[in-house]
Amino acid sequence: MRYVVGVDLGGTQLRAVKIDREGQIHIYERTDTDVDSGPEGVLRQMEFLINTVVGDTDPAEIVGVGIGTPGPIDPFAGVVLGAPNLPGWLNVPIKAILSERTGLSVEVGNDANVAGLGEWRFGSGRGTEHFIYVTISTGIGGGVIIDSKLLLGHKGIAGEVGHMTIQTNGPLCGCGNYGCWESMASGTALARFATEAVREEMAHGRPSLITEFAGAEPIEGWHVAAAAEQGDRLALSLMQREGELIGVGLVNLFHLYAPECIALGGGVIKSMALLEPHMRRAINQRAMPPYRDTPVQLAQLADKVGVLGAAALML
């Protein structure tokens, strides 16, 4: 069996690939997720995409279909328990349904975990045994690979790296807690801190380039990064804090899992050059000596990380 199919179910896009065992993409398809059609409509879209990428390949040559879906899920039973971006998805037995309809064996994983698996097998984690992938964009998610296996834990819900508490009295997180890494260091958090800081500075008659980049729109993380690149003082201090907060979270991950390396992806990480010195300083100040030289590198698979990781579930 030479090929594997991967499907990445997202709230906006649905992607599918047929790859070989080395991760070479033979066919890549994507479409907008028709979320309004509910689970049945989206399942039909998935079935269609799977059939498209399989094409006229002999089914005997296909190991199976790996699917990455937003959580929470039960990866053992292959059931989506509920997905915030997918209305109507409550206890959907996606593995049973799609394996029956396609005649192929199917495995299901949480999208962030699966992305970690993809980056480990085909991207910056290749050749390691202990690896963590962290994506920092609107939220913070990740996947932990220990002893060359994706860490699933009891009920298959391990690896919620974005929800470790960084500051007990910090901002409210989407999960209901306060001061999670996600609520402190995601792109959304950076934008929120920037909005507060800009308001404060304006009150003292000190304008910031951040406002110019944002224009009439609400401030976003990339406005801060763009202003910082122009040397804006406030933006630089916000990026310094962002880099430090990323470093603090990484130190927790070093101490918990002792990875050989960590790869970072997601929109916020596009500004790595600005963040890195501050991230490094936090690591050097906080990590215990044996962990301090753990490499932190950029993820390599960009927007295909999810779909390649989904396929990797079958390998």
Binding footprint of Zn ion on the chain (CB under 5 A): 163, 173, 175, 177, 180
Query: What is the smallest separation between the CB atom of 181 and Zn ion, expressed in angstroms?
Result: 8
Strands 296-298 and 261-265: parallel
User: Which of 39, 162 has the CB closer to Zn ion?
Assistant: 162
**What are the DSSP calls for 43-58, one per residue?**
HHHHHHHHHHHHTT--
Query: What is the smallest separation between the CB atom of 190 and Zn ion, expressed in angstroms?
Result: 16
Query: What is the smallest separation between the CB atom of 71 and Zn ion, expressed in angstroms?
Result: 13
Query: What is the smallest separation between the CB atom of 280 and Zn ion, expressed in angstroms?
Result: 25
Calculate the CA 247 to chain-centre distance.
17
Residues 6+ apart with CB under 8 A from 201: 207, 208, 234
User: Which of 105, 137 has the CB closer to Zn ion?
Assistant: 137
Phi/psi of residue 113, nearest 5 degrees: -60, -45
Query: What is the smallest separation between the CB atom of 84 and Zn ion, expressed in angstroms?
Result: 13
Alpha-carbon gap, residue 11 to 289, rounded angstroms: 41
User: Which of 63, 166 has the CB closer to Zn ion?
Assistant: 166
User: Which of 107, 111 has the CB closer to Zn ion?
Assistant: 111
Q: Are the CB atoms for 247 and 279 separated by under 8 Å?
A: yes
Phi/psi of residue 101, nearest 5 degrees: -75, -30
Residues in the chain: 315
User: Which of 45, 183 has the CB closer to Zn ion?
Assistant: 183
